[in-house]
A and B are shown apart, each in its own frame.
Chain A
Amino acid sequence: MRPTRVFKTESFRSAALFATLFLILSWVLLGVVYWIVNNTQTAALVEAIDADISTIKNGYRGEGLPEAIEVIHQRLGSGKYSGEDLPGGYIVIRDEATAKYEGNLELQEFRLGLFSVPAPRSQKHRHRVTVLGRGVYIADGIYLFVGRDTSQIRATRVRIIQAFAWIEGVSIVLAGLGGIFFSVQFMRRIDAIARTCQSIIAGKFTDRIPLRGSGDELDTLSVAINNMLDRISTLLDNLRQVSSDVAHDLRTPLTHLRNRLEEARQKSVTTDDYAAVVSHAIGDTDHLLVIFSALLRISQIESGSRLAAFSTLSLTDILERIYDMYGPVAEDEHHVLQHDIQKDVRIRGDGELLTQMFSNLIENAIRHTPSGTRILIRLAVSGNTVAASVEDNGPGIPLGEYDKVFRRFYRLTSSRSTPGYGLGLALVAAIANLHNAKIELSDNRPGLRCVISFDYPSGSA
C-alpha cells in the first residue's frame, strides 16, 4: 500500500472536506465569541469609568476643586491614602485657569469623549498596555480624564484565541488520523476485491470476494459481484460442456468418413468402387455440415439478435400451414396427423423460427413413433396464455429423460437407430426461450405431449 494512495481515497477526501468545513465554522464561532466578549468587557469598563467621573463631579460640585482632588486620591489610593483601590485605574484632573495638574498619567492632549492612550511603562506588564478612558469638562475650565488599562480585555482575548487554536489543532490531527484510518480500511477491502479479480484473471475461477458480514455498501457490492461470478462460471461450464460435446459428436462422423476413405484406398479396384465411396463420403460431409449449421443456428438464436425482427403474427396461420405441409408426410409414414387449432391467435414472434420449432416437434413425432400413431396439433388460448402443443399416442419417453432431451446432442437410447443429430429439441428450446415461452413435456397416457406456452399479449384478444 503506497502512502500517496492513502490520501487519494474517497474516505480520506471526505474526511479532509469535513475537517475544512469544521475549521471554517469554528473560525466564524471564534469571531462571534471574540466580538461579544470584547464588547461586554469594554462596556463594563466604560460603565466603571462613567461611575468614577460622576463621583468626582459630585465632589467638585459640593466643595470645589480640592474636594475633587481628594476624591481622586481616594480612588487611586495615592497621597495620604495607601493601598491600591483601583488597580490599572488612571485619573487626571486639570484646571485650565491655574494650569494645576493632578493625576497618575501624563496626558499629551486633552481630548473629549472616549479615546485610548498608551499606559506608562511598568514592570507589571510585559506588553505595552493601552488605557481606555473618557475626557470631560466637569465645570468651566476643569478637565477630567478617567481611564482603565485594557490588559484584562487583552488577556481574555488571548485566552479565547488560545482555546480555539487548541481545539482546531486537535480537530485537524483527529480528522487526519481518522481519514487515514478509514482510508486504509477502505483500501484493504478494495484491494481484496482487486486481488480476487486478479486471481480470476489468472485462472482461479472459484475465487470469490471475502465478505465482512456487516451488510454495508461494499458488502452489497461484493455480493453482487460474487453472484455475477457464479453466473459467469455456470455459463462457462455450459460452454465448456457444449464445446466438448461438439468436439466429441463431430469426431464420430469424421471417424466414419476417414475409415471409409482409408478402406477405399486399400480395397477399391474398379471406378465403381471408388464412385460408391466418394458418394458415401459426400453424404458424411453433408451430415457434418448439417450439424454445423444446426449448432450455428442455435447459438445465433441464443444470442437474441432475432428479437429485433419480432412482429405480431398469426400462430393459427403458421400451425395450419405446418399441418398442410406435414399431412402428406405423416400419411406416407402411415401416421394420422390431426389438428385442433383455434382461429385468429396472434402473438409476437419470428415466423421463420416458430415454423421451424413446430416442424421439429412434428417431425420428431413422425420419426420416433411406430406406424399408426395419432399426432395432434393443438392451439388454444386460456386466460393470458397461448398453449400450442404437439401430442402423440406413441411410446413416449421415460420420465427421467424429460429435461435431458433438450440438451444438445442428447439422444434417447431408443432413438439411436433412427438417423438424427440430437439437435432438433435443443433448437426448439432455444426458439422457445427467445420467445419467452415455456416448454413442458408430459405423459399423454400413452405417448408424449409437448406444450409450448406463450404469453398472450393483453389487449389483442
Chain B
Amino acid sequence: MNILLVEDDLELARSVSDYFREHGITVHHRADGVDGLSSACESDYQVIILDRMLPRLDGLNFVRKLREKAVATPVIYLTTMGGIDDRVQGLEAGGDDYLVKPFAFAELLARVRVLSRRPGHSQEPATRLSVGSIELDLLKRTVVRAGKDIELLPQEFRLLEYFVRNPDRVLTRRMLLENVWGIHFDPQTSVVESHISRLRGKVNHGFEFDVIQTVRGTGYKFLAPN
C-alpha cells in the first residue's frame, strides 16, 4: 500500500512513516500544502493523511482543491483542531475521516486500512451485503448466516453492517462509536463491549466459528465465516 502524508511536524512524520513501514505500508512524506497537493495529483495514492495547519496551503483548502481536480483519494485529517465545528468543517470540505492529535498509531493505522479499500465516492448504494456465509438485507434489515435467520436489534444490525462492510480489518472502539452510534466522545462505560458481546452471542449461536475477533488493546476484527 502506498500513502501520502502531508505533515509539517517532521518528528511526527518520521514516527508515522516508521510505524507504517513496519506494517508493510509505504509512506511518502511532504512537509507543506503546495508540495503535498502536487504529489497528490501526480501519483496514485490509496490514502492521504493530512495535517490541517500546514505551511503555504492549509488542510481545508488542500482538500477543496483536490476534489476540484476530481481526485477522489480518501483523505484522513490528523490534527490538533479537535473542536466539534472543526470536525464538521473538515468533513464538509471533502475529507473522509478525522483523527485528533494526540492519537495512538494503531488507531491511525486501522483508519487508514479501512479508508484504503473504500472504492472512491461513486459507490452505488447496495441493498444486500454478503461476506462468506453471512448475508445482510439492508432494506428488510434481516441477517442470514448459512441459511439460518438471525434476529438482531437495530443497533446490533448497524454494528454488524459496519463489520461486514469492513471485513478483515481492525476496527477500533472509537471507530465503532463514531460510525455505528455517531458519537464523538469517550463513554465511561463499556458501551461497545456490551453490544459486541450481545452481537457475538446472536451471530455465533449454533456455530463454532467466532466471526468477531478481539484484537487486544486495539479493537475488533470481522472474519468472514465459511
**Residues in A lying within 8 Å of B, measured CB to CB:** 289-290, 293, 296-297, 300, 305-306, 309, 321, 324-326, 328-329, 331-333, 352-353, 355-356, 359, 363, 366-367, 419-420, 424
Q: How far is the CA of A423 from the CA of B56 in the complex (A)?
A: 39
Query: A332 and B183: CB pair below 8 A?
Result: no
Q: Quick one: given A329-B194, A332-B194, are A352 and B189 in contact (CB under 8 Å)? A: no
Residue of A at shortest CB range from B199? A328
Q: Which residues of B contact A305 (CB under 8 A)?
A: 83, 85
B120: Cβ under 8 A from any A Cβ: no
Residue of B at shortest CB range from A418? B188
Q: How far is the CA of A290 from the CA of B154 in the complex (A)?
A: 30
Query: B195 and A328: CB pair below 8 A?
Result: yes
Query: A352 and B194: CB pair below 8 A?
Result: no
Q: How far is the CA of A23 from the CA of B218 in the complex (A)?
A: 91
Q: Which of A306, A325, A333, A359 contacts B84 (CB 8 A)?
A: A306
B209: Cβ under 8 A from any A Cβ: no
Q: How far is the CA of A279 from the CA of B168 in the complex (A)?
A: 26
Query: A331 and B185: CB pair below 8 A?
Result: no
Query: B189 and A300: CB pair below 8 A?
Result: no
Q: Quick one: given A306-B84, A331-B194, A352-B84, are A325 and B184 in contact (CB under 8 Å)? A: no
Q: Which residues of A contact B188 (CB under 8 A)?
A: 363, 367, 419-420, 424
Can you list 20 residue pairs at the A/B interface with Cβ under 8 Å?
Answer: A289-B102, A293-B100, A296-B83, A297-B185, A309-B84, A324-B153, A324-B155, A329-B189, A329-B190, A332-B193, A333-B189, A352-B183, A352-B184, A355-B182, A356-B185, A359-B185, A359-B187, A363-B189, A366-B189, A367-B188
Q: How far is the CA of A243 from the CA of B84 in the complex (A)?
A: 23
Query: A300 and B84: CB pair below 8 A?
Result: yes
Give the shortest distance, in Å, between A326 (CB) and chain B (any CB): 7
- In this complex, which of B187, B189, B193 has the most chain A Cβ atoms within 10 angstroms of its Cβ? B189
Give the shortest distance, in Å, between B166 (CB) and chain A (any CB): 21
Q: Quick one: given A300-B83, A328-B198, are A356 and B183 in contact (CB under 8 Å)? A: yes
Q: How far is the CA of A352 from the CA of B183 in the complex (A)?
A: 7
- The size class of the interface chain B forms with chain A is 20 to 34
Q: Which of A306, A328, A333, A359 contacts B183 (CB 8 A)?
A: A359
Q: Quick one: given A289-B102, A356-B183, are A328 and B189 in contact (CB under 8 Å)? A: no
Lowest 7 A-B CB distances belong to which pairs? A328-B194, A329-B194, A329-B189, A332-B194, A363-B189, A363-B188, A356-B185
B191: Cβ under 8 A from any A Cβ: yes
Give the shortest distance, in Å, between B177 (CB) and chain A (any CB): 10
Q: Which residues of B contact A367 (CB under 8 A)?
A: 188-189
Q: Which residues of A contact B186 (CB under 8 A)?
A: 290
Q: Which residues of A contact B155 (CB under 8 A)?
A: 324-325
Query: B85 and A324: CB pair below 8 A?
Result: no
Q: How far is the CA of A440 from the CA of B155 in the complex (A)?
A: 31
Residue of B at shortest CB range from A350? B84
Give the shortest distance, in Å, between A100 (CB) and chain B (any CB): 118
Q: Quick one: given A324-B153, A324-B154, A363-B187, are A309 and B194 in contact (CB under 8 Å)? A: no
Q: Quick one: given A326-B191, A367-B188, are A296 and B82 in contact (CB under 8 Å)? A: yes
Q: Which residues of A contact B189 (CB under 8 A)?
A: 326, 329, 333, 363, 366-367
Give the shortest distance, in Å, between B145 (CB) and chain A (any CB): 21
B207: Cβ under 8 A from any A Cβ: no
Give the shortest distance, in Å, between B92 (CB) and chain A (any CB): 12
- In this complex, which of B84, B102, B153, B195 has the most chain A Cβ atoms within 10 angstroms of its Cβ? B84
Q: How far is the CA of A300 from the CA of B82 in the complex (A)?
A: 10
Q: Which residues of A contact B154 (CB under 8 A)?
A: 324
Q: How far is the CA of A309 from the CA of B195 in the complex (A)?
A: 31
Q: Quick one: given A324-B154, A424-B188, are A309 and B181 in contact (CB under 8 Å)? A: no
Q: How far is the CA of A359 from the CA of B102 in the complex (A)?
A: 24
Q: How far is the CA of A306 from the CA of B181 in the complex (A)?
A: 21
Q: How far is the CA of A326 from the CA of B198 in the complex (A)?
A: 13
14 further interface pairs, Cβ-Cβ under 8 Å (given A325-B191, A363-B189): A289-B102, A296-B82, A309-B88, A325-B155, A325-B181, A326-B191, A328-B197, A332-B190, A332-B193, A352-B84, A352-B184, A356-B183, A366-B189, A420-B188
Residue of B at shortest CB range from A282? B104
Residue of A at shortest CB range from B180? A325
Give the shortest distance, in Å, between B203 (CB) and chain A (any CB): 15
Q: Which residues of A contact B197 (CB under 8 A)?
A: 328, 332
Q: Which residues of B contact A296 (CB under 8 A)?
A: 82-83
Give the shortest distance, in Å, between A409 (CB) and chain B (any CB): 15
Q: Which residues of A contact B198 (CB under 8 A)?
A: 328
Residue of B at shortest CB range from A308? B85
Interface residues of B in 156-214 (CB under 8 A from A): 181-191, 193-195, 197-198
Q: Which residues of B contact A366 (CB under 8 A)?
A: 189
Contact indicator per residue, chain B 61-88, by CB within 8 Å of chain A (1) or not (0): 0000000000000000000001111001
Q: Which residues of A contact B84 (CB under 8 A)?
A: 300, 306, 309, 352-353
Q: How far is the CA of A325 from the CA of B155 in the complex (A)?
A: 8
Q: Which residues of A contact B88 (CB under 8 A)?
A: 309
Q: How far is the CA of A420 from the CA of B186 in the complex (A)?
A: 12
Residue of B at shortest CB range from A309? B85
Q: How far is the CA of A289 from the CA of B154 in the complex (A)?
A: 33
Q: Which residues of A contact B194 (CB under 8 A)?
A: 328-329, 331-332
Residue of A at shortest CB range from B195? A328
Q: Which residues of B contact A419 (CB under 8 A)?
A: 188
Q: How far is the CA of A331 from the CA of B191 in the complex (A)?
A: 11
Give the shortest distance, in Å, between B101 (CB) and chain A (any CB): 10
Q: Which residues of A contact B184 (CB under 8 A)?
A: 352
Give the shortest distance, in Å, between A196 (CB) and chain B (any CB): 38
Q: Which of A293, A331, A333 contacts B82 (CB 8 A)?
A: A293
Q: How far is the CA of A321 from the CA of B153 in the complex (A)?
A: 12
Q: How far is the CA of A296 from the CA of B188 in the complex (A)?
A: 17
Interface residues of B in 128-168 (CB under 8 A from A): 153-155
Q: How far is the CA of A424 from the CA of B187 in the complex (A)?
A: 10
Q: How far is the CA of A412 from the CA of B78 in the complex (A)?
A: 37
